[in-house]
Homo-oligomer: A and B are copies of this chain.
Amino acid sequence: MKLSQEDIRRRFKAQGLKVTPQRVAIYKALAETTEHPTAEDLHLQVTQIHPMISPNTVYYTLSVLKEVGLVQEVNYWHDRARFDANVTPHHHLICLQCRAIQDIHDKTLDRLLRWSGIPSNFQVTGHRVEFHGYCAQCQTADTRRTSLPIPSKAHTKRRNS
């Protein structure tokens, strides 16, 4: 989406964020692509305007924008590979708090594969439905989060188990 500097400034202000050239450039770059870039992609992109910008700034900025809900992490459970010996197609229920993953087996969901809204030039080999939320154990007010995706801080804490 095309955004003017003023649009961006307004959005940042509305969230109580300082408006810095770097921050604007990062958000602008992300808002103007549909390619779901990585932090590195964005850093490379923004380098063309701010040659001295640090990757660190990109990571920090993204975490801030994520916190206020201006940005989302598309693959929010990207931290580590997780495996399953059940190779039949099935779907998942993911707890945003404790990261537990439950399986769902259901014909209704499987049938989505024949859904007609898929662009005809895309060859589909499979699909997966994820429901996000809170498992029975994690449904207490103080620990609950309100928005997707989970902040990247959780990533850091993962080793506390």
Contacts and interface: CB of A to CB of B under 8 A. Distances in A.
A79 B82 contact: no
Copies in the complex: 2
Contacts of A95: 122
Interface in A92-134: 92-93, 95-96, 100-104, 106, 108-109, 112, 115, 117-119, 121-134
A153 to B, nearest CB: 13
A133 B129 contact: no
B123 A117 contact: no
A10 B109 CA distance: 32
Interface centre among A38, A66, A122 (most CB of B within 10 A): A122
A127 B129 contact: yes
A103 B33 CA distance: 11
B93 A122 contact: yes
A72 interface: yes
A91 B84 CA distance: 23
B80 A92 contact: no
Interface string A36-63: 1111101000000000000000000010
Contacts of A112: 109, 129
Contacts of A117: 104, 106, 108-109
A31 interface: yes
Given A39-B81, A127-B131, 13 more contacts: A34-B102, A36-B82, A70-B87, A74-B101, A75-B75, A75-B78, A75-B81, A77-B78, A78-B78, A122-B135, A125-B132, A126-B131, A126-B133
